Structure 1
Amino acid sequence: MTHPVPADPTVATPADLDVLAEQLGREPRGVAGIAARCVCGRPLVARTVPRLPDGTPFPTTYYLTHPGAVAAASTLEANGVMKTMTERLGEDEELAAAYAAAHESYLADREELGHVDEIDGISAGGMPTRVKCLHVLMAHALARPGVNPLGEEALALAAPTWRRDRCTC
């Protein structure tokens, strides 16, 4: 099934907001755009403003919404992948440096949407020193391919059940 994609695929259309509500099981909040789409055109990742309409600071700029990707991230978390990745950050200086760079990239992307003092310097997913949420890291990797090494790794680990190049909508 194909989904209508606007000329600028980062724009969240009313149809996209309907899909996000379906995916999340609730009305989406603070959507600034669509950061990544399924090959069929439906949203995979919502880009979210750093302060929600109710005033709540919200550090999660890239929010994974696709049910298949969310389930794959949850399975990886349940299998202990976060612990192993965090341990590797303490052992592999190159990986730690690339992950720190991903953190800085995330902060810069969020700052484009506005500055919120309460979350200044705080990215998401545990960056830059630990792995706390694979959903965030996978969303970042989908939104900014090649920037987040552990997000890319999580996407590769998810491939037996969910892949970005195959529609499962």
Structure 2
Amino acid sequence: MTTPPFAPLAPADIAVLRSQLGREPRGVVGIAARCICGNPTVVATAPRLPDGTPFPTFYYLTHPAATAAMSTLEAEHVMPELQELLADDDVRAAYEAAHLAYLADRAQFGEVPEIAGISAGGMPTRVKCLHALAGHALAAGPGVNPIGDAALARSPWSPARCVCAEPGAALRPEPTAEAE
């Protein structure tokens, strides 16, 4: 296991997530990583959504700037380069371990037979979605997901610098009596 348990969700978190996603967040069980300003960056999502849909992507990247950065890397065809890293035995072993850690984290929130053994991002053998891999790397911390770490290293976005107040990024709403 790498990350759970999570701190309780605050109403302000849900409001920020709604702004980041442009829709109502579904099945959120916790904030797995935060921007240095406190805004959500990665959510942990239940393995079965409230409507009953199986949902394998436990760590879901929500931060608009991080999401845009991963989309840019994918558009620039970085995924085949990262896939080549799996030819190294040590990287491949670490990626397989990341897959198992991901499954163990998600299992704490229920077993869903339809997605048994399926993690996210192509783990453990492919590089399929940098958003999922970066989300896992941010939630688990450096050194757990080598491909997620490599994607973040190639990214113009950094978790060390807040860009939430910049145009296009979600802002933390002002606290209300309900949120306090």
Q: Conserved in 2, the CA contact under 8 Å of 1:106 and 1:123? A: yes
Q: Conserved in 1, the CA contact under 8 Å of 2:49 and 2:55? A: yes
Q: Does 1:29 align with 2:26?
A: yes
Q: Does 1:51 align with 2:48?
A: yes
Aligned to 2:61: 64
Q: Does 1:147 align with 2:151?
A: no
Distance in 1 between residues matched to 2:81 and 2:56, nearest whole Å? 24
Q: Conserved in 2, the CA contact under 8 Å of 1:10 and 1:36? A: no
Q: Displaced runs of 4+ in structure 1, greater than 6 A?
A: none
Distance in 2 between residues matched to 1:96 and 1:114, nearest whole Å? 27
Residue 10 of structure 1 and its aligned partner are, at CA, apart by 2.9
Q: Does 1:88 align with 2:88?
A: no
Distance in 2 between residues matched to 1:88 and 1:142, nearest whole Å? 19
Aligned counterpart for 2:116 among listed residues 117, 120, 130: 120
Q: Which amino acid aligns with 2:157?
A: W
1:3-22 equivalences in 2 (<5 Å): 10-22=7-19
**2:93 aligns to what SS in structure 1?**
helix
Ranges in structure 1 where 5+ consecutive residues have no aligned partner: 1-7
**2:60 aligns to what SS in structure 1?**
strand
Q: Conserved in 2, the CA contact under 8 Å of 1:20 and 1:43? A: yes
Aligned to 2:125: 129
Q: Which moved more, 1:11-20 or 1:66-75?
A: 11-20
Q: Conserved in 1, the CA contact under 8 Å of 2:82 and 2:150? A: no
Q: Conserved in 1, the CA contact under 8 Å of 2:29 and 2:43? A: yes
Ranges in structure 2 where 5+ consecutive residues have no aligned partner: 165-180
Q: Which amino acid aligns with 1:115?
A: E
Aligned counterpart for 1:164 among listed residues 159, 164, 169: 159
Aligned to 1:138: 134
Residue 51 of structure 1 and its aligned partner are, at CA, apart by 0.0
**1:18 aligns to what SS in structure 2?**
helix
Q: Conserved in 2, the CA contact under 8 Å of 1:23 and 1:66? A: yes
Q: Conserved in 1, the CA contact under 8 Å of 2:47 and 2:110? A: yes
Larger relative contact order (Cα-Cα within 8 Å, sequence gap ≥ 6): 2
- 1:68-100 deviations in Å (ceiling 9; x for gaps): 0000000011111111111231x2111110000
Q: Conserved in 1, the CA contact under 8 Å of 2:95 and 2:145? A: yes
Question: CA-atom RMSD, angstroms?
Answer: 1.2
- 1:48-71 deviations in Å (ceiling 9; x for gaps): 000000000000000000000000
Distance in 2 between residues matched to 1:48 and 1:20, nearest whole Å? 12
**1:68 aligns to what SS in structure 2?**
helix
